Structure 1
Amino acid sequence: MDSQDIHDPTTPQGSRVAAFFARFRFYLTWLAMLIVFAMMAVAVYKLTNEVRYDEVVDALTDTTWTDIVLAVIFTALSFVSLIYYDLNALEYIGRKLRIAPVAATAFTAYAIGNTAGFGALSGGAIRFRSYSRLGLTPEDVARVIAFVTFAFGLGLLAVSSLTALVTAPRLSAILGFDPVYVRVGAVVILLMLASLLFVGRNGRRVQIAGIRLRLPDTLTSSRQFLITAFDLAVSASALYVLLPPTTIGWPSFFAIYSTAVGLGVLSHVPAGLGVFEAVIIGALGSSISLDQLLGSLVLYRMVYHVLPLTIAIVMVVFSEARALAKHPVAGEIGNVAARLSPPLLSAFALLLGTMLIFSSVTPTPDSDLEFLKRLVPLPVVEAAHFISSLLGLALVITSRGLAQRLDGAWWVALVAGTIAFLFSFIRALALGEATFLAIFIIAMLLNGKRFTRPASLFNQVLSTPWIVTLGIILAGATTILFFVYRDVDYSNQLWWQFEFFSEAPRGLRALLGVSILSGAIAIFSLLRPAFDRPDEVTADEISKAVSIVQAQDSADANLVRMGDKHVMFSESGRSFIMYGIQGRSWIALGDPVGDKEETAEMIWRFVERARDAGGRAVLYQVSPTLLSFCADAGLRAFKLGEMALVNMSGFDLKGGRLAGLRQALNKGKRDGMEFSIVEVEDVAALMPELKAVSDSWLSHHQTREKGFSLGAFDEDYVSSMPVATIRMNEKIIAFATVFLTQTKSEASVDLMRFAPEAPRGAMDFLFVSLIEHLKNAEYQWFNLGMAPLSGMSRREVAPVWDRIGSTLFEHGERFYNFKGLRAFKSKFHPRWEPRYFAVAGGTGAVLALMDVTLLISGGVRGVVGK
């Protein structure tokens, strides 16, 4: 449906609304998140109407070190339990990994996920990066992510319901419901969970909406429930010990805490910021002094969110030290942490940038100002305060580039962090802030070699999620500003007051500067041209690409000769990616071709080029060796099928294993078929005969030429490579174009056409004869091509994509000859190697596959008309 359909007066109102939401669902989701945060910020502001900033600071200083140490211990216990989520998930899917790298991966994933929000996505990306390099397949990693996500959700429901049964009177007083309703709701949830546990006993299989699932067995479910209960209990205790003495018992607080955590997760606001606080304040505000409650919440955020992320960064710092790598276990942890240093430093930069922006709207202690007044001129203090807020914004924006390992982002973040470190002493004597910045600077210096991608930071535009994140940070800073200076009467003169002890004007100016700059960046990103189609490939570029193809092993890379795809070369000119564009999808065909050392950089460049043009990056028919690079670039992989590769050295027609092929070869010879290879220089002379066979084949099959991943009958294309032919009575009845490279590692075929009068078994005769010929020419492998949807996992714990694919393979013969194609290739007893397609984000997988289909078929007409 296009935009005109939405406004068509003949379209039913419901359909127009549904079409509108379907079209703008992505943007509406992020807008709703920003609105939810704004509402919670307003709620917190109103709930704390009688609280003053100085009172909160006093409450913070009154917290004893004993309470803080206890909170740290409970936080440590929480993260230990979170590590067991991953260990339990790995045991559930039947994969065993060493504990040390799993612990480092899980700790890092939760440290980032708790801070950035979207734990399944942000933490999931970390798991893809690490686990894929530890030997897990994309399907395995996806199952681990699904397990830990659903385990936490179901565990949270179970724990909250159990605590609600015990604390119903207390909760009913807070919520305004009758205790009976609270208990009934809790019992209903527990019965549903108990039913699920009973149905899944002993790992039973169930069918839901036509999809068969293997539920965790009783032991796994029970163990996971205990892990979740322990995690929630100790994380709740981390906040409880920071609260002042109260009449609220731990069980009641535990129920309130679980509810706040659940609502924070559902809101998808980073770290549940604002939502979690609003629930806790609304539930406990009448029982605990609000200033002390706010102080406790601030400390809890520092201990449970900031401290683990800082520890993860310190772990990265020490991973670069040679002394640590000498110990086997420490070396394993260090290696994992070092691989994850870009996303870790990205999250830390985001956190530090937010901290700098927030600190710019909070007052400096009078004692610090008295000290600074004797040493630093007022203009220097004012400038340092204002510039620090802009440096915070710079760190927030460069955090995106750090995740992509951009060298420009590394330089900007390092310079911004260093200047902010110096200014932290000039503007406020902020020792805590300086400590975090120092850790960041050291980590950046030690990991500089991991940021080597020479992409321009300033050509990067902010995506919608990053713009919303900026909006949330600015909304939070505005809320803090109004909270801190709620007793200051606004006047226009505030903007022009420059005095050592005039903190409100300083905060106003800092917030205005950040707002203007971030608004300009957001407008630039939104107004940037949405699409920039690259130029068509030139003859010189095709010639350059062909010379690269001839020097490497992949025979299918000869498809670049068609000239129907764009070509992106590496900076060195030793590698290239060929790709097509359909709709919003930029679709790369196969692995990057050329120098293997440039593979990672080529994938990053392609993903960024697609993103900068407003498109989605898609890698089609990529090999398993590319999956870890895809994970690094933020691509999610899906299995397409399996490639059939025949080992020439083991291809022997004399044994019983290939008796069927030997019979096909002998029968063809008896029928008078003659096989021959036509060299490149002789193909042009046979072009009329070859075209006649091709035209008759297209007419007989009532189909049309395809493209992209298949060659079409183009005279220049066909004459650029050898052609295998079969003749009967001096007439060509079948042919196939042959892909070769100079390395003789692999050979393959592209166009395969035969005349209607060709005897049955002609293609078997052609393939067997060609393989025998190539074997004698000392080629190592023969690529029979891919069997789509073949080899998909049929296990009940397999991803939904695999189950859909296996179902299509079994029952989709009326649409495509899936089984027949697999059976034909199986006669050659090949080695089956999986092939994947990878999509940026993963959410557009179905749309991307539709675009691939349209690209291969030449548009909708090609799909409908075969």
Structure 2
Amino acid sequence: MSDENSVITEDRASWLVRSFLTYRLYILGLASLLVFVLVAVGVYRLTAEVRYDEVLAALSATSWSAIALAALFTGLSFLALIFYDSNALDYIGRRKPFPAIAVTAFMAYAVGNTVGFGPLSGGAIRFRAYSRLGLLPGDIARIIAFVTLSFGLGLLSVSALATLAVAPRVAGILGIDALWLRAISVVILVALVTVFYIGRNGHVLSFKGLTLRLPDSRTTSRQFLVSALDIAAAASVLYVLLPDTHVGWPTFLAVYAVAIGFGVLSHVPAGLGVFEAVIMAGLSNAIGIDQLLGSLVLYRLIYYILPLLLATVLLLITETRHFVLRPGVAEAAQLAGKLAPTLIATLSLVLGTMLIFSSVVPTPDSNLDFLSNYLPLPIVEGAHFLSSLLGLLLIVAARGLGQRLDGAWLVALGGACVAFAFAFLKGIAVVEAGLLALFIVALIANARAFDRHSSLLRQALGPSWLAAIGVILATAFVILLFVYRDTEYAHELWWQFEFSEEAPRGLRALLALAIVASALALFSLLRPAHFRTEGATAAELEQAVAITMAQDMADANLVRTGDKRLLFSASGRSFIMYGIHGRSWIAFADPVGVEDEFAELVWQFVGAARAGGGRAAFYQISPALLAACADVGLRAFKLGELAIIDLASFEMKGSRFANLRQSYSRGARDGLAFSVAQPDEVAAILPELRAVSDSWLAHHNAKEKTFSLGAFEEGYVLSQPVAVVRIEDRIVAFATLMVTDTRAEATVDLMRFAPDAPKGTMDFLFASILDYLRGEGYRQFNLGMAPLSGMARREAAPVWDRVGGTLFEHGERFYNFKGLRAFKSKFHPRWEPRYLAVTNGTGAALALMDVTFLIGGGVKGVIAK
């Protein structure tokens, strides 16, 4: 009975794990929304004695000199942020031109600080930009790790130093004993100093096969100064906006650092509400809540929105030919153009949020009095009501803009133009209209960047976007409650229509937003999750084979197996071959055909997968495809390394090839004879080949594989040359060759030998194949991939690489990782990395599991080998 209970418990645990992995993004999104709602309730209660007019008065009381100082400190903070990336590139030894670094870092922080969630984040921008500068995914992951760790450690050190210096003051504000604050600060500082001391000479730490190279003293000192400047300048932005107070700057710095830390940990987009709640809780005893709120609003506008607008203006400047042709900045200008869709998408999200918030706050009475003299009330009411819905439209369009959809561009442009007109009709909102005008100009100037033909309506909103919309609407609801705190609710409010009645106008707008947003959420959550594309037809296979034979990638001949689906480019000159298992749509290797069409073909595939409710993944792709994958929001994870032999220089001479040469000579002495049967000659020896194949499968207790490997099927074996090894006219080993008409590359697929074949037969076979192909004029030979080979396990390597490197070292009981690498190393190839591109780390693990099922022929096939 206990065994049965144990099995049931394990099944439940397994079900919980699978459920969490499947719905993790929705769970995390819901958790972020819940955290925000709890914080919003706290903020609403903290402001119980504050009125909207008092906040406006505090805003008006802020001097222009304070605003100018805040803008100056914002510039200093962003300058320091740029040096985060510059130092990271120096640390990993991959220096790039400073203008390109500055553009990338500035846009990454302008976007990441403002919205701060996955689809539009600093990490995504860095991957897009740095991959175009020639950095590999491992390098980019190390840059992101360096930046993240530097910010965290800098925040810890600065807050600890500030708290230690003014512990009694901070203790009085936070209600914590000063002794405890000092003790915590000392512990943090001692730990940081210890790490600094250990790593003073670039010391390497090792733990269970993993290595971590600590930054040297110069790097650490430089980064500490950069972090201190960043945090101090950012804190000063808010400090100079505060009214005169007895709270000193060091005390404020400690409170500010804590607020930033809580905002980051909350995972709420941009820490919205969380940061404000901590600041108000920490400083409400020293500064009036109305003045704090006014300063916080200005802080958000100056430190978050102003850099985003400046980035947009700089983007428009880089579009001018005069700027692009200036020496030293052309590359940075080109890079800015590549990042334009993400920047414009972020601006669309911000402006949509602005329109929603403006629908729940009152319009100045003077503006309404002016409008009442020229416009009838229905026009003003209609403009106000529709503007809020246009705000939601711009938020939804932001997702498509980030993916460069032409439909999203049209929707955003049309919506922004209508909202621009409504800005004057609903309340003469000049600033709002000006921002919309900037957005419209940016859309028109970068129209050519939105060239992907895909229906915006087919793109369901993911959990991150649904959570972001939920946070925005919840914020609008809290603002509505705050602004009209003194207005008593009555059912009659819903149908009151007067120029002076602002509360009913806001209620109606928020209700409409809630209804439309709920409909969008239901559409996204309840739409059909899966559909399957049709398999390849005979005509499509013939077309794909013709394309394959005219290009250089020998592995593309796997399309001949007929077990993969095909997606052709619009011209029909290129294709992607892929398989579907579970929710994973897995493309095998790079697209085949015309290279100029690859980027668009990648987008077509990702769009088709998303429309079918699946996750797109690219398996065993080369570094050349990484930029195209980054453009569609996919991350790269290293799978291993591909062994390539340069046939033009390959000769079995010298000490390097002594062992291989001995195996070849021994095989010749044992009577092994090599030959190649061309496709029209294979039919005559097919029965012998099948006998060898069957005996090999039986001896290894294996079954035929699919997807990334061929199977012994008559049509497939007959389609390409076959290299055979005979002994006394009996075939004892063979390998099917994959070649193309360009003779640029050749490789093998099926490699099988009889159980009684002499030892070293496979070495003899490969050496003979290489010699034959060299004589036939082929330029290189693809030896296949060594899984998990070349994975980084040191410094700031990503977790994926470190786990892969550990498996490579200690996973021999599961797979012959080292043995396969050692066999390929006999031929002294050059090694090229191969990647899996997918949305995130968990998606990568699930995609790899589905790849295993595809190759093994399903779950039963994997279990039965």
The answer to whether the 8 Å contact 2:672/2:725 transfers is: yes
C-alpha contact (below 8 Å) 2:722/2:735 kept by paired residues = yes
Query: Which piece of structure 1 moves more, 666-675 or 110-119?
Result: 666-675
Partner in structure 1 of residue 184 of structure 2: 185
In the other structure, the counterpart of 1:171 is 170
Comparing 397-406 with 572-581, which one deviates more in the overlay? 572-581
* Partner residue, 1:475: 474
SS of aligned partner of 2:476: helix
Matches within 5 A, 1:601-640: 601-640=600-639
Residue identity matched to 1:232: I
Q: Which moved more, 1:659-668 or 1:483-492?
A: 659-668
Does the CA-based 8 Å contact 1:354-1:393 persist in structure 2? yes
Cα distance, 1:663 vs. partner? Answer: 4.7
Question: Could you tell me which residue of structure 1 aligns to residue 340 of structure 2?
Answer: 341
Aligned equivalents of 1:19 and 1:438: distance in 2? Answer: 48
Deviation of residue 783 (structure 1)?
1.4
**Range that drifts further, 856-865 or 246-255:** 856-865
Unaligned runs of 5+ in 2: none
- Structure 1 residue 170 displacement after superposition: 2.2
Aligned position for 1:196: 195
* Distance of 1:448 and 1:330 partners within structure 2: 22
Answer yes or no: is the 8 Å Cα contact 2:210–2:793 preserved in 1: no
One-letter code aligned to 1:464: P
Give 2:806's aligned residue. Answer: 807
Correspondence 1:170-569 to 2 at 5 A: 170-208=169-207, 211-569=210-568
Deviation (angstroms), 1:850: 2.5
**Is the CA contact (8 Å cut-off) linking 2:119 and 2:633 kept in structure 1?**
no
Following superposition of structure 1 onto structure 2, how do residues 618-697 of structure 1 map, counting pairs within 5 Å? 618-653=617-652, 658=657, 660-697=659-696
* Structure 1 residue ranges without an equivalent (≥5): none
Shift of 1:484: 0.9
Q: State the distance in 1 between where 2:221 and 2:486 align.
A: 53
Contact 1:168 1:179 in 2 (8 A): yes
For residues 541-562 of structure 1, give each alpha carbon's deviation from its aligned partner in whole angstroms, at most 9, with x where no partner exists.
2222112111211111111111
Could you tell which deviates more after superposition, 508-517 or 76-85? 508-517
Query: Any idea what the Cα deviations from partners look like across 1:760-806, whole Å, max 9, x if unmatched?
Result: 22222322332333233322222121122223335444333333333
CA-CA distance at 1:14 after TM superposition: 8.2
Structure 1 CA distance, aligned partners of 2:18 and 2:279? 38
Spell out, residue by residue over 1:262-308, the C-alpha distance to the aligned partner (whole angstroms, 9 max, x if none).
Answer: 11111111111101111111222232222222111111110000000
Deviations 1:747-767 (Å, cap 9, x if unpaired)? 111101111222222222322
1:702 to 2:714 alignment: no
1:55 matched to 2:54? The reply is: yes
* Letter in structure 2 aligned against 1:261: I
Q: Is the 8 A contact 1:634 1:841 kept in 2?
A: no
Distance 1:501 1:752 in 2: 83
Q: Deviations over 1:6-63 (max 9, x none)?
A: 9997669988877765664433222111011111111111111121112211221221
User: Which residue of structure 1 aligns with residue 139 of structure 2?
Assistant: 140
Counterpart Cα distance in 1 of 2:304 and 2:632 = 26
TM-superposed CA distance for 1:119, in Å, is 8.1
Give how far 1:117 is off. 1.3
TM-score of the two chains, using structure 2 as the length reference: 0.96
CA 1:7–1:393: 2 relative to 1, 3 Å: farther
Paired residue for 1:67? 66
Q: Percent identity?
A: 59
Greater mean alpha carbon deviation, residues 689-698 or residues 576-585:
576-585
Displacement after TM superposition at 1:233 (Å): 1.1
SS at match of 1:643: strand
Moved more, 412-421 or 852-861: 852-861
Quick check: 282-291 or 749-758, which moved more?
A: 282-291
Change (3 A) 1:758 1:13: closer
Change in CA separation of 1:139 and 1:20 when aligned onto 2, cut-off 3 Å? closer
Structure 2: which amino acid aligns with 1:493? E
State the AA in 2 paired with 1:808. L
Give how far 1:321 is off.
0.7
- 2:753 is aligned to 754
SS class of match (1:844): helix
Per-residue displacement from partner, 1:223-248 (whole Å, max 9, x unpaired)? 22222121111111111111111121
- Give the distance between the partners of 1:771 and 1:11, measured in 2 at CA: 51
Deviations 1:662-682, CA, capped at 9 Å, x for gaps:
554444344333322222223
SS in 1 for 2:456: coil
Shift of residue 655 of structure 1? 6.3
2:855 corresponds to 1:856: yes
Mean alpha-carbon deviation: is it higher for 300-309 or for 577-586? 577-586
User: 1:37 — aligned with what?
Assistant: 36
Q: SS state of the match for residue 843, structure 1?
A: helix
2:395 is paired with a residue whose SS is helix
Q: Does 1:735 align with 2:734?
A: yes
Report which stretch shifted further, 350-359 or 291-300: 291-300
Distance 2:538 2:294 in 1: 68
Give the residue type in structure 2 aligned to 1:616. R
Task: For 2:408 and 2:277, locate their aligned partners in 1 and report how far apart those are by CA, in whole Å.
Answer: 35
Q: SS of 1:807's equivalent?
A: helix
Residue 631 of structure 1: CA displacement?
1.6
Structure 1 residues 33 and 108: CA distance shift in structure 2, 3 A: same
Partner SS for 1:417: helix
> Which moved further from structure 2: 816-825 or 262-271?
816-825
The letter for the 1-side match of 2:107 is T
Alignment-mate amino acid for residue 357 of structure 1: I
User: Which residue does 1:129 correspond to in 2?
Assistant: 128
Task: Write the deviation string for residues 135-185 of structure 1: whole angstroms up to 9, x where unpaired.
Answer: 211111100100110111111111112211222222222222222222222
Change (3 A) 1:266 1:654: closer
Residues 361-381 of structure 1: per-residue CA shift (max 9 Å, x gap): 111111111221222222111
Kept in 1: contact 2:340–2:446 (CA 8 A):
yes
- Given that 1:6 and 1:20 are in contact with CA atoms closer than 8 Å, whether structure 2 keeps it comes out as no
- The question of whether the paired residues in 1 share the 8 Å contact of 2:739 and 2:746 is answered with yes
Aligned-partner SS, 1:742? coil
Greater shift, 799-808 or 12-21, is seen at 12-21
How far apart, CA to CA, are the structure 2 residues paired with 1:246 and 1:486? 28
Render the CA deviation track for 1:500-533: whole Å, top value 9, x for unaligned: 2211111111111111111101100000112222
User: How well do the aligned residues superpose, as a CA RMSD in angstroms?
Assistant: 2.2
Partner SS, residue 474 of structure 2: helix
Amino acid at match of 1:270: P
User: Per the alignment, do residues 590 and 235 of structure 1 end up closer, same or farther by CA in structure 2, a change over 3 Å counting?
Assistant: same
Whether 1:725 and 2:724 are equivalent positions in the alignment is yes
Counterpart in the other structure of 2:835: 836
**Alpha-carbon distance between aligned partners in 2 of 1:361 and 1:352, rounded to the nearest angstrom:** 15
How many angstroms apart in 2 are the aligned matches of 1:55 and 1:813? 70
1:697-744 Cα offsets, whole Å, 9 max, x none, are: 111222221121111111121112221222222222111111111222
Structure 1 residues 754-833: aligned runs within 5 Å: 754-833=753-832
Q: Tell me, in whole angstroms, the C-alpha distance in 1 between the residues paired with 2:806 and 2:258.
A: 40
The 4+ residue runs of structure 1 with deviation greater than 6 A are 5-9, 11-20
1:575 aligned residue: 574
**Which residue identity does 1:619 align to in structure 2?**
F
The 1:16/1:338 distance shift into structure 2, 3 A limit, reads: closer
Q: Go from structure 1 to structure 2 and tell me whether the alpha carbon gap of 1:566 and 1:20 turns closer, same or farther (over 3 Å shift).
A: closer
- Tell me which moved more, 442-451 or 695-704: 695-704
Larger mean CA deviation between 148-157 and 642-651 belongs to 642-651
